[in-house]
Amino acid sequence: METYFLPLDKFVPLLLRLIEKYEVFIPTIEQERPHFHRFSSEDTSTISFEHIRTVEPVKHFLFKPIESVASFDKPLEKGIKPQAIVGIKRCDLKAIEVYDKVFLDSEFVDPFYKKRRETTILISADCPQPEPTCFCNLLGLNPWVDEGADLNVTPVRSGYVIEPLSPKGEAIIEENKIWFENTSPEDLEQREASRKKALDKLKEINPDRFKEDLYERVNVNEQKFCLSEASGCVECCGCLMCCPTCYCFLLYDEPSNERVRIWDACYYAAYARVGGGANPMPDFTSRFKNRFECKFNYFYKYHGFFACTGCGRCISGCMGKIDIRKILLKL
Amino acid sequence: MTIINPYESLPCRLTEIVEESPGIKTFTISPKPINFEAGQFAELTVPGVGEAPFTPSSSPFDNDKLEFTIMKVGRVTTALFNLKPGDLVGIRGPYGKRYPLEKFRGKEVFIVGGGVGFAPLRSLFLALVHNINDYKKIYIRYGARSPKDIVYKQFLPKWDKLENVDILLTVDVGDETWNGRVGVVTVILDEIPVDFNNSVAIVCGPPIMMKFVTKRLLEAGFSGADLYLSMERNMSCGLGQCNHCRVGELYVCKDGPVLTWSQIKHVREPFV
């Protein structure tokens, strides 16, 4: 697709144009890690495209950790504002594909997810410096974006190569045409070089591949499956909460009659417990295995791809130092 | 544009509450708020407390009312038991798959229930009776803890008189009023008078009963594809999204709640 060059000093003006219509979130560095940050006209923080994906998964913007979804005796008032998320990496875009399958490609379309999805602009960025926890290449992804976003940004020399990937993205360029220039062959060469460098780095981090029939291999005997690796797990569920593809939720009703939807996680002991108290997943090994079956077998059988993006959040967030790659490679 | 919100419950009113046995009541809602087919379930809300999944116990062909026979086991059911006729409840559904009654046509239908598990089976039974000539014969095998724990006592003699219906009961522990069989439900499964090549079995009850009845019915000669099992899981959303009701790769709320043995036999502990 056509590409444009945006000079370095024009990116903030572009963001200022976007906040006229959208709540804009940009990646910035806080305590040495990338986090999403709400951009405002008084903002002096520096946008960072150089890091890997943010600490927070992108699901926060489309599927709130906790929110009211119905009210028994009065209409539910819901202010869903248009938003623009800037700096999303390839792994998190793949996670949105997982969410789309669950909440849009379903007999029951989730109205809140749908509304947010329709009113959200996704501005992605290449991932120039993969870290030791990254393994998107093992899931068939590249550390750059050529689909799934509205616009993609690649930092080069004194600016950015911007590639529109959807009609929404093209419209943003059209509306702000005066700032965009044509890309030079050097810009595109630089983009290629940066992409290749990132991919080489990923191959160096992850020299081994998962086996072709991984989806069947996760169904093996429970004891064999996880005793060695699960031993460090303290069941904090951090890996599941920060996972961009985990979408489990629980509904409960408040005394005020509001129905609340809250993120849930299958490592919690009471996750599957039924009314009478019986628990289909009473032992931790069955819950530990469930996470793998869910992402690499069940989701694959339903939708044809894994519900894992190789973002590595579960590895960097694990206080038990469990590395999902080691488990998957051993199967 | 109207946004369809699948989380919203329809307010409706309880009109009658009947005690079936200690700890089990039948709640009637009328007018009928939603339609359903035998096998499907709905999420019932006690306002301000929460919701839980139940399969109706009334006939899907009853156009006037919806009934649920419910055992008091947890938070929502306890709150439900404190309600009175005239009180407001909420309902959303129906969810899940219906029984494939067209596959039962011309066959013997062998129904095995335990305790409050008879509730969804009553709905199925009434749906079968609605077109009773479509089926070769209907058997009911039902077990309860004691004579006073038997549900639908007022209906059982009437159903037993129907032509082509054969009912046999057992209780774990009898008393002075009881002349029937004594022992867990498998004691009335020693003899299964059906042609296994032309029959289906449907089972609903507590997990331990499901486990042993399934084993017995398979040994007796039912094929896994003809053995329909009513599964219990934590169906929080009912929409096939929240993930809590997984049995292997299947969702009990979407693919069930009735699954055949063939569908779940690879699961390590399907009955819990």
Chain A environment of B242 (Cβ under 8 Å): 248-251, 264
Which among B43, B30, B34 is positioned nearest to B70, based on CA atoms? B43
Structure tokens at A12: 């903030």
Q: What is the pLDDT of residue B1?
A: 41
Question: What dihedral angle (degrees, nearest 10) is formed by the CA atoms of A188, A193, A196, A200?
Answer: -170
Q: What is the pLDDT of residues A37-50, one digit of tens each?
A: 999 988 777 888 99
**Percent of chain A at pLDDT exceeding 90:** 80
Beta bridge partners of B71: B24
Per DSSP, helices labelled H in chain B are 75-81, 101-104, 118-130, 156-160, 207-220, 261-264
Q: What is the pLDDT of residues A147-177, one digit of tens each?
A: 999 999 999 988 999 999 999 999 999 999 9
Give the H or E element holding residue A96: helix A90-103
* Contact (CB<8Å) B234/A247: no
Burial code of B88-106, b = ≥16 C-beta within 10 A, e = fewer? Answer: ebbbbbbbbeebebeebee
Q: Minimal Cα–Cα distance from B252 to chain A, Å?
A: 12
Q: What is the pLDDT of residue A276?
A: 80
Q: Minimal Cα–Cα distance from A91 to chain B, Å?
A: 22
- C-alpha to C-alpha distances, B147 to A39, B29, B152, B172, B207, nearest whole angstrom: 70, 28, 12, 9, 21
- Out of B7, B90, B233, name the one closest to residue A251 (CB): B7
* Contact (CB<8Å) A290/B77: no
ipTM of the assembly? 0.92
To test the contact with chain B by mutation, choose from A262, A274, A291, A299 the residue with the greatest count of B C-beta atoms within 10 A, namely A274
* Contact (CB<8Å) B51/A106: no
* Contact (CB<8Å) B242/A248: yes
Q: What is the pLDDT of residue A222?
A: 62
Nearest CA in chain B to A104: B241
Q: Which residue's entry shows tokens 């050097």?
A: A186
| Reported pTM | 0.94
Question: ∠ at Cα A23 (A22, A28), nearest 5°?
Answer: 130
Beta-carbon contacts of A193 under 8 Å, excluding residues fewer than 6 positions away, are none
- C-alpha to C-alpha distances, B222 to B59, B200, B225, B261, nearest whole angstrom: 27, 7, 8, 10
* Contact (CB<8Å) A290/B246: yes
Nearest CA in chain A to B75: A275
To test the contact with chain B by mutation, choose from A99, A245, A246, A259 the residue with the greatest count of B C-beta atoms within 10 A, namely A259
Q: What is d(CA B88, CA A218) in angstroms, rounded to the nearest whole number?
A: 47
Given a cut of 70, the residues of chain A with pLDDT beneath it are 221-228
Note down pLDDT in tens along chain B; length 272 residues. 456 899 999 999 999 999 999 999 999 999 999 999 999 999 999 999 999 999 999 999 999 999 999 999 999 999 999 999 999 999 999 999 999 999 999 999 999 999 999 999 999 999 999 999 999 999 999 999 999 999 999 999 999 999 999 999 999 999 999 999 999 999 999 999 999 999 999 999 999 999 999 999 999 999 999 999 999 899 999 999 999 999 989 999 999 999 999 999 988 788 88
Burial code of A169-201, b = ≥16 C-beta within 10 A, e = fewer? Answer: beebbeeeeebbeebeeebeebbeebbeebbeb
Instruction: Tell me, letter by letter, the H, E, C secondary structure of A49-91.
Output: CCCCCCCCCCHHHHCCCEEEEEECCCCCCCCCCCEEEEEECHH
* Contact (CB<8Å) B243/A266: yes
Residues of B with CB under 8 A from a CB of A: 3-9, 11, 45, 47-52, 71, 73-74, 76-77, 90, 207, 232-234, 236-237, 239-249, 254, 268-269, 272
Q: What is the pLDDT of residue B270?
A: 87
What are φ and ψ of residue A40, in 5° steps? -135, 170
* Contact (CB<8Å) A278/B246: no
* Contact (CB<8Å) A255/B48: yes
